[in-house]
Amino acid sequence: MAKIKLIALDLDGTLLDSQKRLSYRNEKVLLECMRRGITVAPCTGRIWFAVPEFLQQMQGIRYAITTNGAVVEDVMKKQILDERKLSCAQAVELIELAKQFHTMYDAYAGGLAFGEARFIGHMEEFGITEHIQTMIRKTRQMVPSVEAELRRLNRTVEKVNYFFGDLEERQRAREALMARGDVVVSSSFSNNLEINALGATKGEAILRLASHLGIAPEETMGFGDGENDMTMIEMAGIGVAMGNSMEELKAKADYVTVTNDEDGVAAAIEKLVFDEGND
């Protein structure tokens, strides 16, 4: 096995436990990785602003892949290394499409997430759990109209997000999105759809970051649990699926570890990286 030099980590359902916490064991292993010279990068559907503060402040975290691979950034220097974004026109069309369904939607632009206040009082109607509701309240800039705000900003957009209470309607929306042919559609939860520009996937982004750092594809490792992690699991040198992953992801993985509530990230790194002598 090639010596691992870059580890990319999904957050929700992967590095973080069910209560959105970083366990002592996972933190200890990540710090040891960085002590050994291994680059550790969060790889998330979130914007960097919405990454938990304890990760933003962790000593040694320099790079991040955000909004499903739309942005690869040096977070220490606040420098964008690579981006694959929706045009403003595409994003506006996606918001207009969302209005054809009973869905809560938001959009990410310029490192900020924009939502509409009218949704906030009844997010459970769209199948959103209490933990995610809390995160949304903390991280969204509330505006009267997301569409109007995007038109006002007139800039490229990292991601558009839909939430559904009705999963059959979610499937109809997915089919409408896929028929466009100009976007990537994935999800991180069973009730959402995440829409990105072509080329904005976690798998492509980890290889772009590796190339920037002079790291070969086979020297990368990616961890995930959901649909939006599929490309990373397939394209990383070693793709690791969590024990709590969707079955389709486990089938694609090189290795399946234990769940996110059992320190699955630490367990896999200890076995596959530390035990293989990555000193």
Whether 247 and 258 have beta carbons less than 8 Å apart is answered as: no
pLDDT at residue 278 in the model: 57
Please give the pLDDT value at position 276. Answer: 64
Predicted TM-score of the model (pTM):
0.93
Would you mind telling me the total number of residues written for the chain in this entry? 279
- Predicted pLDDT at 147: 97
Owner of token pair 């999800």: 187
Residue 40: its pLDDT value, please?
Answer: 98
Domain boundaries defined on the chain: 6-83+200-274, 88-197
pLDDT of 275 reads: 84
Beta strands (DSSP E) in 38-173 are: 39-42, 63-66, 71-74, 79-83, 103-109, 112-116, 140-143, 159-164
Can you give the pLDDT at residue 2? Answer: 84
Going residue by residue through the chain, which has 279 residues, state the pLDDT in tens, using 9 for 90 and above: 689 999 999 999 999 999 999 999 999 999 999 999 999 999 999 999 999 999 999 999 999 999 999 999 999 999 999 999 999 999 999 999 999 999 999 999 999 999 999 999 899 999 999 989 999 999 999 999 999 999 999 999 999 999 999 999 999 999 999 999 999 999 999 999 999 999 999 999 999 999 999 999 999 999 999 999 999 999 999 999 999 999 999 999 999 999 999 999 999 999 999 986 555
> Which pLDDT belongs to residue 199?
97
The arrangement of secondary structure in 88-197, i.e. its CATH architecture, is 2-Layer Sandwich (3.30)
For residue 277, the model assigns a pLDDT of: 55
Strands 183-186 and 140-143: unpaired
Q: Under CATH, what is the fold of the domain 6-83+200-274?
A: Rossmann fold (3.40.50)
How confident is the model at residue 94, as a pLDDT? 98
Backbone angles phi, psi at 181, to 5 degrees: 80, 0
129-134: Cβ within 8 A, 24+ apart: 131/19, 131/20, 132/189
Say if residues 103 and 75 touch (Cβ distance below 8 Å). Answer: no
**Calpha distance 71→66 (Å, rounded):** 5
